[in-house]
Every structure is written in structure tokens, then in C-alpha cells.
Amino acid sequence: MTYNEINDGIWNVYGEHGQGGERNAVYIIMDDDIAIIDTGIRDTIQHEIAECIDHAGRKAKDVKHIILTREHHDAIGGAKRLQDTFSKAQLICHKDAEDTIRKPYLYLPEKHFEPDKKGGKFSYQPWERLKGIKVDAVFEDGDKIKIGKSTLYVVAYPGFSQGHSMIFSSQQKAIFTGAELYIYPMRFSNYLIDKTGSAAAREKALKFISRAKTDMLCPAYDGAYIGGQAKELIKQALHAHHTFEETILVTLTTNGASTFEDIRDEVNLSLGIEWYKPWKELVDDLTLKAHMRQLEEEDKIFQSSKKRGKEALWEVHDDHKIDADSVLYI
């Protein structure tokens, strides 16, 4: 069985795990009405979603909302099939995700990711067979979605991507964090901030989760965490975010002017970051670039006037240098 009830009224449906342990998963909230959160990779678990709802003794007409937390292929891939299966349901997403969802084959490679430097092409193209999807409605940060007795609150910080949202359920005191925590379960430095996302916004999202009065965290690529486990999870995720930026500053403090490749190698080695297919090519250097953009905006690092051959060099301002001995890594 690839589905289970993890708490009263909340079900998890999941398929095969990836090489890093990541789940291809969705959550289902069952109240008087039903909401499905995300739709999985195309042609994978959509049948199991329908089977889960039938197993719970519910009807297709009870599904009123299909909520997309982000515009990436693993959240929107099954949307068209679920629209056909649950014809009474509204497909909804954040307003800043709508354009990409409408033309994922165009906007995902152009706006959200970067091709391999050799040849300017992706060897892995998960959006290649995705058809455009027309959403029925869009939401913004602070909007409410009624599901029977439950009210779902939209919490939108564009960390992972510009159209990313988290969903908080008042009835179950659960927060569906989408892709904001990590890709590989419990590997807190393996997270993605795509070209449209923001390191500062991701930090705000994590701080929101840490302050929220929730009993359950439901990450997109993992199972649910309850009580003390949930509190420890967000504590570790927030610590990893700060440590990522500290590691960039330590690297530049210790090594002096460095190329981007030097910084990347040191960060990956220090934090034990390793990616497997398909994420290896998709993530590439995007998360590091997002953090470096943020540090540059905060005037902590700068692109040097020096060069190593043709390669640009980066330096840290004196008042933001960090001694490696003062930092405790994860």
C-alpha cells in the first residue's frame, strides 16, 4: 500500500523513493470536503491518489481543491490527470506560479533552472512531456481556503521558487511546507533555491515555521513529523541555512580571493553536499548562487577587481570575516 493516514483526516500518498531517499509524494486533507496538496510526478501516483480517497470511503465529487505548492514538475506533473479524475475540483496555485504552470515546457528551463555549461542543454528534462495546465484560481499570501470545518491558510515566501507556498491547516494544526525544508530527507543542506527563488525569503519561511503553533510538519519530499520531532526538524533546517552562508564567509576569510568554483567545492565538502540524478543537474550551482546573491546584497561579499586568468574572484569585507574555529558545523 502506498498511502496511509498519518493523522486524523490527513493522508500521505507516495511512490518510489529517489536515490537520495526523496519521496514522490502528495498529501490529502479529508474533512467534509477534500483537498489534495500537489499531484506528483507525471504518470506515477495519480491512480493511488484516487485509490486512497476510495479506500477512505469518499467520493470523487468530495474533492473540491487541488492545491499546487510550487510550479516544479514533481508538484504539477499529475495535475491534468487529477483534473480529469476529480472534475468538480478547482486547481489552484500562487499567482506567481501560474505562468510557469501554464507553459512548464517553456518557463521551467528558461526561468527556473540553468542548463549544463557544455552545450547549453539539459540531459534530464522532466518538463519535456508536460502539457500546459490551466488553473481555475490563484491565491496570495494570507488567503484562506475553506475545506469543510477546516480553514487552510496560505503562507507564501518565495524561497524555493517565486511561486512557492506553504499551507497551514487550522483544524489539524499542520503545516504543509512544500519543498522549503529539503530535497533529501534529513539531509538539511540538500535544498534547492531555483533562479526565481530567494535565500532571504527561504530564511523568513523557516522562521515562520519555527514560530508557528503547529503539531505536525508535512514536507513534500518526506513523511510527516509530529510534536518534538517537528520542532527539532525545523531547528535543524534553520541552522543548516545559516551554516551554508557562514561556510561561504569562512571560505573567503580563510582562502582569500576565490573563484566561484573554489567556493562551491569548499561548501560542498564542508557541508557534505552531494546530489544524485535527477537533482544533480537540476540543482547544479543554483542554491549557492542564491546565497551569494544575498550576501552580496547585504554587502558582506563582493566581486573583486582581481582575476585569476579569466575567472572572476570573490572576497569578503573585513567586518564580515569569520574565523573557521569559531563556527560549529552540522
pLDDT in tens, 272-322: 999 998 898 889 899 999 999 999 999 999 999 989 999 999 999 999 999
E strand segments, 31-136: 34-37, 63-67, 90-94
Contact 291, 245 (CB under 8 A): yes
The list of the chain residues with pLDDT below 50 reads: 329-330
Distance CA 131, CA 77 (A): 9
pLDDT of residue 330: 43
First to last CA, the chain: 35
* 44, HSE (Cβ side, Cα atoms, 13 Å): 24
Handedness of CA 231, 234, 237, 239 (dihedral sign): negative
- Residue type for position 232: E
Three-state DSSP at 66 gives: strand
Whether residues 144 and 258 fall in one domain: no
Domain boundary among 221, 239, 257: 239
Whether residues 234 and 168 fall in one domain: yes
Cell of 21: 531517499
Distance CA 100, CA 109 (A): 10
Rounded to a whole number of angstroms, the CA Rg of the chain reads 20
pLDDT of residue 139: 98
Domain boundary among 223, 239, 255: 239
Distance CA 70, CA 96 (A): 9
Whether residues 216 and 152 fall in one domain: yes
Q: In what order do the strands lie in the sheet with 144-147?
A: 144-147, 150-155, 166-169, 174-178, 216-219, 225-226
Contact 114, 90 (CB under 8 A): no
Contact 109, 70 (CB under 8 A): no
Query: Cell numbers 512531456 label which residue?
Result: 129
Whether residues 118 and 131 fall in one domain: yes
Whether residues 157 and 145 fall in one domain: yes
Domain boundary among 191, 219, 239: 239
pLDDT of residue 284: 83
Distance CA 173, CA 238 (A): 20
Distance CA 50, CA 74 (A): 18
Contact 63, 88 (CB under 8 A): yes
Handedness of CA 5, 6, 7, 12 (dihedral sign): negative
Distance CA 175, CA 189 (A): 21
Whether residues 89 and 195 fall in one domain: yes
pLDDT of residue 119: 57
Whether residues 185 and 204 fall in one domain: yes
The domain tally of the chain equals: 2
Query: Cell numbers 486533507 label which residue?
Result: 29
Whether residues 246 and 209 fall in one domain: no
Three-state DSSP at 115 gives: coil
Query: Cell numbers 550576501 label which residue?
Result: 295
For residue 316, what is the domain's CATH number? 1.10.10.10
Whether residues 180 and 257 fall in one domain: no
Q: Which of 208, 311, 295 is nearest to 258 (CA)?
A: 311
Contact 70, 164 (CB under 8 A): yes
pLDDT of residue 328: 55
Contact 52, 62 (CB under 8 A): no
90-94 and 63-67 beta bridge pairing: parallel
Report pTM: 0.95
Which burial class, exposed, middle or buried, applies to 199 when counting CB atoms under 10 A from its CB (0-12, 13-18, 19+)? buried
For residue 58, what is the domain's CATH number? 3.60.15.10
Whether residues 107 and 218 fall in one domain: yes
Q: Which of 279, 230, 218, 227 is nearest to 14 (CA)?
A: 218
Whether residues 235 and 247 fall in one domain: no
Whether residues 227 and 201 fall in one domain: yes
Q: Which of 141, 149, 153, 155 is nearest to 171 (CA)?
A: 149
pLDDT tens sequence across 175-219: 999 999 999 999 999 999 999 999 999 999 999 999 999 999 999
Domain with 274 in it: 242-326
